[in-house]
């Protein structure tokens, strides 16, 4: 995959019920790769309470907040920093609408229609803007350096100088 446009980053989170289901996780990973995304970071973690509260702070006054926090801290999740042209909009289209029932009717081939269980357990999360990517990555993958990505890694990825490690579910950029 080579391009002249800069690659855009987005954060994708596989929620705990997906990570505990090998079929669902592999199907979503296949969808990511089949749609031309590079996986520039991949991190499995059980989200700590403080992380979840910070990540979902905008929902604190909503009725589903406690249920969402409890679920997101209930077991391992996987966070991926994905890159491609128009990454945010492409990932959000692949996920489908947030509400699973609506998704099953309107977007039956989407990730959430196939792997979502409820509106809280809707399989995946995706950033909705570049601003959200920066905020969310700083919470979920705090060691990621956007400046290093832009200056060093992004040009290599854009020029297709990458290898994929299936076991780590991660693309690596190389110099030559």
d(CA 22, CA 28): 10
Residue 101 CA to residue 38 CA, distance in Å, equals 30
Torsion angle (degrees, nearest 10) of CA 27, 29, 34, 40: 180
What is the C-alpha to C-alpha distance for residues 55 and 42, in angstroms, rounded to an integer? Answer: 18
Within 17-123, strands assigned E span 38-45, 77-84
Q: Is 59 a catalytic residue?
A: no
Residue of 125, 134, 148, 171 marked catalytic: 125
- Please list the active-site residues: 125
């Amino acid at each position: 995959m080579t391009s002249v446009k800069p690659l855009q980053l987005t954060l994708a989170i596989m929620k705990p019920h997906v990570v505990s289901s090998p079929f669902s996780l592999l199907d979503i990973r296949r969808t990511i790769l089949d749609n031309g995304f590079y996986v520039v970071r991949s991190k499995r973690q059980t989200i700590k309470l403080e992380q979840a509260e910070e990540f979902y702070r905008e929902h604190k006054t909503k009725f589903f907040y406690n249920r969402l926090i409890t679920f997101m801290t209930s077991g391992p999740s996987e966070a991926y920093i994905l890159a491609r042209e128009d990454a945010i909009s492409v990932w959000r289209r692949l996920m489908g609408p947030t509400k699973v029932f609506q998704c099953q009717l309107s977007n039956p081939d989407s990730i959430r229609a196939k792997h979502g269980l409820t509106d809280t357990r809707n399989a995946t999360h995706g950033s909705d803007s570049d601003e959200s990517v920066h905020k969310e990555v700083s919470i979920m993958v705090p060691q990621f350096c956007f400046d290093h990505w832009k200056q060093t890694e992004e040009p290599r990825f854009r020029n297709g100088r990458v290898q994929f490690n299936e076991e780590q579910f991660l693309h690596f950029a190389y110099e030559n």
